[in-house]
Amino acid sequence: MAINQPAWNLEELQIPLPLEEMQAALKTFGDRCQTTYLRLMLKCFGWTNLPLELGRPLVAKTQAFLRHSTISYPQFFVSLRQEFSPQWAVGVGHIFCQSPTLPPADQKLLDPWKKIYFELLQQATPLQQAAIAKTLEVANPPVILIRPQMEYIWQALDQEDDWSRFAATFQLMQV
């Protein structure tokens, strides 16, 4: 006899966890959430095995930079993916040099981040340095659709049956 999986799942959801088990799980949730967040953020920076204690300052500097800069959160990571170069390990001045997405004021705000990123690159093995570009590509999509962009695309589809905006955006996402 086969189990009706959806019905079984719903039945199982109705069984409450014992209070002690739920409290124990909730006590560790904050730490597990923070650890997962840090690992995912470090991957967005190109690091897959960086110890969390070394990555925390980079994440903190990124958050501080993004709070005060003109670049959006998604655009920062798209730019990081597109502009990363092995030359960044040669000198801090190579990081985001001549960036088309970071105006001079943002460049100045990014200096503390650049310093930490450069120091991490200096500590990385040549194999780790070589893997960063690929990790950046995997972790950071080239196009991040936010609501105004989706509405812009949808408006053309809905009102004019014009698929050109959709096609152009889809093409960018294939990079």
* 146 — pLDDT class (breaks 50, 70, 90): confident
pLDDT tens for 18-38 read: 888 888 888 999 999 999 999
CB-based contact 61:69 (threshold 8 Å): no
Q: Return all residues near 162 (Cβ < 8 A) that are at least 6 apart.
A: 156
Question: Per-residue pLDDT for 70 more than 80?
Answer: yes
Instruction: Record the pTM.
Output: 0.75
88 DSSP 8-state letter = G
Q: How far apart are CA 51 and CA 64, in angstroms?
A: 21
